[in-house]
Amino acid sequence: MKTNQFIKTLFFLPGICYLTEFIVWSLFPKSHLLNAFLGGLWTLGQTGILVILPNLYRRKIAGGSKWKALGVTTAAAGAISYSINYVFGYWLDMNTRMFLPLGALLSGIGMLVTGIQVLIGKRWPGIKGKFPLIVGLYPFLVMFPLLIITGHPDLAAIMGWGIPWLVLGFGMATDTAGNKSNIAGRYSKFDINLKT
pTM: 0.83
Terminal Cα-to-Cα distance of the chain (whole angstroms) = 28
The C-alpha atoms of residue 82 and residue 102 are separated, in whole angstroms, by: 8
pLDDT (tens digit per residue) in 9-49: 999 999 999 999 999 999 999 888 888 888 889 899 999 99
| pLDDT exceeds 50 at position 3 | yes
| pLDDT exceeds 60 at position 192 | no
Counting other chains too, the contacts that 39-42 makes at CB distance below 8 Å and 24 or more residues apart are 39/86, 39/90, 40/86, 41/17, 42/17, 42/18, 42/82, 42/86
pLDDT at 188: 38
The phi, psi pair for 24, rounded to 5°, reads -65, -45
The C-alpha atoms of residue 29 and residue 21 are separated, in whole angstroms, by: 13
In the 8-state DSSP scheme, what is residue 28? S
In 3D space, the residue among 20, 54, 43, 57 whose CA is nearest the CA of residue 163 turns out to be 20
pLDDT (tens digit per residue) in 125-184: 899 999 999 999 999 999 999 999 999 888 899 999 999 999 999 999 998 776 554 444
pLDDT (tens digit per residue) in 83-129: 888 888 777 777 777 788 899 999 999 999 999 999 998 889 899 99
